[in-house]
Structures are given as C-alpha cells and as structure tokens.
Structure 1
Amino acid sequence: MSSEHMQIGEVAARTELSLRTIRHYEETGLVIPSARSQGGFRLYTETDVARLMVIRRMKPLGFTLDEMRDLLQAADRLDAPSRLDEGEREALLERVRGYEAAAAQKIEDLRVQLSRAEEFAATLRTRVEQAQSART
C-alpha cells in the first residue's frame, strides 16, 4: 500500500467524521475512495480528505447533499487540467460565488441565533441569581 493512501479509519480521525458518515457520502457519490487495497479496504488520498472537509463544513450550514454535490462538481471542473472556454469558466465561478454568498447568509443567520441564545442564557442566569439572593 502506498504511503499516500489512507484507510477509512485514518480519514475518519483526520476529518472528525464517523466511518458510517464517510460510507454514506460514498454511497451518495459525494466522495469515492481513490483506490482499494488488495483486501478490499477503501483507500483515500489527500484530495479525498479535502472533499470530505468541504462536505463537513457545508453540513452544519444546512446545505443539502445535492448542493454539496453541485459545488464539488463545479470545483472539480475548475480544477481539472482540461481547458475551459471563458463562458464555461465564468459560469462555474458564478456557481461557486452563489455558494459563497449562501454560506455568508447562513453564517449571519447563525450569528443572530447565537446572539439570541446568549441573551436567553443571560436571562436565566439573572433569574437564578435573583432567586438565590431572595432566599438569603
């Protein structure tokens, strides 16, 4: 086995994804192991790990598997060694820009949620402190 290939356990540790999740992403076609060992074990490369990291970052933002697939396909086409005509390159870049804008909006939405959650926790802290001081 080449040192550049990793088994699924190492990939899971590096990406902080479960084996089950990685296998699910394989079943859905998001990440296909680059090779198999003679014993049939999945073998992954740094490129595969990078793809899984993209997926891991998109998931908590609420992107769907189809959206993940679409972004990965656009990135693959942009990174491919074959030449793209200017129109195709711009269309792919526009797709990626759309995901960038969607991610920025989702991040802003999460900031609002976090702020509300912090306000709620502070309100509860104040209530507990008031209740404790009233008893003494």
Structure 2
Amino acid sequence: MDDVDDVDDRHMQIGEVAARTELSLRTIRHYEETGLVIPSARSQGGFRLYTETDVARLMVIRRMKPLGFTLEQMRDLLDATDRLDGDARLDPAERAALLERVRTYQQAAAEQVEKLRTQLSRAEDFATTLTARLNRTAPPAGTQPDDDTP
C-alpha cells in the first residue's frame, strides 16, 4: 500500500477516525455508501481522508443511532444543520423552517432519552431484585452446599 503523501495534519485516515468515534471501519464505510458522511479527500494512494468536520458528523450519527433514528432521519437532520451552518444568506423563512426541523429532532431525542431512562431504571430494579434473591438463598460465603454423601 502507498503511504499518504502530501497530506497535511488536518486529514485523518479511516482507522484514526474509527478509533476516535468508536465506530467500526465497516460502519464508517456503510455511512459513506449511504451518503451520510463522505470523506473530505482521498490520498494519492486512494485512502479515505477525513477532517474534524467529518468526525463531528460521524459523532452526530453515532449519537442518533441508539435513539432509534433512521438513516433517512439522520440525513434530514444533517442536511438541515449543514444548511444552517453553511449559508449565511438564508432568508428568514427558510432559516425558521430549518430551525423547526432541528427542533423536531431535538424533541424526538428528548422523548427517546426519557424512554431509555425508564427502561434503564426497570433493568436496574430487575438486577437488584435478582441480586437480593441470590443473597437470600445462597449459602453463606465459605460454606459448601449440603452433600448427601455419608
């Protein structure tokens, strides 16, 4: 394989991006195939090269995934935030519409977080119940269970 030549420090190869985002190489490539994150550049040797902006985009996707957002919803939110961040010449009505799209995702995320908190609380209660059950019925530490041998 060719080494990356003439690339400044602002670009990272996919392995570094994977380590920083805690996403697998396969997942990052999948997000590229679906158009969610496109590498900012390619090295002379053909390696994907990413910037801090690309990493931030992957982190948004990573945070949306466990909340149940679809790839299409991720794409829609990223489009809205890209347009808000990239074009200072948006007319007020368009800016308001984009902000409302982002607000809708924020509200959906907050609702999902609350559902996950409830699920986590129930799971913790269950684990505590099992621990208490084991503590009630387990033989004291250092003793052996009764044995039927004479």
TM-score by length of 2: 0.87
1:85 — aligned with what?
A: 91
Structure whose CA Rg is larger:
2
SS in 1 for 2:74: helix
Give the aligned length: 136
Q: Could you tell me which amino acid in structure 2 is paired with residue 37 of structure 1?
A: S
Distance 2:115 2:95 in 1: 30
**CA distance in 1 between partners of 2:33 and 2:20 (Å):** 20
User: Partners of 2:69 and 2:129 in 1: how far apart?
Assistant: 32
1:26 aligns with 2:64: no
Identity of aligned residues (%): 74
1:40 aligned counterpart, secondary structure:
coil
Whole-angstrom distance in 2 between the partners of 1:20 and 1:116: 33
> What is the correspondence of 1:85-124 to structure 2 with a 5 Å cutoff?
85-124=91-130
Q: Mark the runs of 5 or more structure 1 residues left unpaired by the alignment.
A: none
1:10 aligns with 2:16: yes
Q: How much is the aligned-residue C-alpha RMSD, in angstroms?
A: 1.4
Amino acid across the alignment from 1:83: R
Gapped runs of 5+ residues in structure 2?
1-6
Select which of 126, 134, 138 maps to 1:132: 138
SS at match of 2:49: strand
* 1:40-79 to 2 correspondences below 5 Å: 40-79=46-85
- Higher fraction of helix: 1
Deviations 1:13-71 (A, max 9, x none): 11111100000000000000000000000000010000000001001111110000000
